[in-house]
Structure 1
């Protein structure tokens, strides 16, 4: 399901963080939000997920204004995975993932709910952790549980705020690869804030690059991620290399 922001202005108190931003996340695509700390990535995601009301502008989901969609329906349409997650500390992994089915459950989970939980655990390769207490897991393991919970919710739109930040190198690649496959096989939409530009180059269909709360550029990652844009947006000098596996960025100095 397509989601779009038009002329979005957002901030905290009198401070404007996002200033007149417009872009869309098409159905069946992974769209990355790129930019340095403080550029507004998390603020955009929180607004599009309905956690903040726009100061001006609007968020459109499908053909409807987000403000006209009930909280109950939003819970079925979209899933949000923040950088840090509140959770019941002595809950099992199984119960944590099952909580993603709450928009569909009454008092007890159905066979369908349990089936989706199992599929989500298997998809994220954490079935072996199902009966572990979530507070006994590493930060990276917990992050994979929260992604499984989002998948268990079976939404049309996923919002991820730095989902790979707590993961080691193997699981950064593995998680991005799995989500890219899931989105394209199931025709979902994903908006993801990413710090690792190499991951965006390899596993995202489009990218929106922010600078000082405005869009610096948007388009295919390979088109907008250049030596000039890295320097202008991140104040970092970088070299690019290309081989049989793709294009890779090698930052080598700050300015």
Structure 2
């Protein structure tokens, strides 16, 4: 009987040659780009064929660089897709959120009230302005007519009405010895100051007056009360010594 034959032990695979730095000789990894001892850029010192092989090995499926690059690209795509979906969902839900807000109904109810109030509030000023515009010309015309009538009555020196018994406001009394022109000058001055019914009379012709004077007066009144009502206006015109006097004809 033959003894069993033992198989020879397997031969271990040959180790790849160790990579060393071309400058300092320090060992480095296959995918290492810079030397950790001297800092030289290792890929620049390899021949063209070696660099091409190194790049091909770096981006092969077995290389960790390719795996990390693929994972980063996938994560970026997922992130962009999630952002697009989120934006679309937000835009679709916005009209529903606007409609469900508590203040949406109250706002719609207030708008008609504001419009109605502004419309109604606009009408009264329009109605008020029209009568005012119409009345103004009438008022102006009336004022002009009154001024014309008054001016016509006060542009001349009047005489006391014949046979009239009444009251007047005496502005000044000038002795007849000084002449009538002085009294007429006083009467014209009173007219220029705006007094109405300014006249001149001879006191000697009226028993109720002291004879011998030219009397400058303002107004022909039926009662003493009317004369007293006119007295403040005469004094305000610059004749503080004016007074009310009764005039009786012969």
- What's the TM-score, normalizing by structure 1? 0.16
Structure possessing the higher relative contact order (Cα contacts under 8 Å, 6 or more residues apart): 1
Give 1 or 2: higher helix fraction. 2
| Largest Rg, 1 or 2 | 2
Give 1 or 2: higher strand fraction. 1
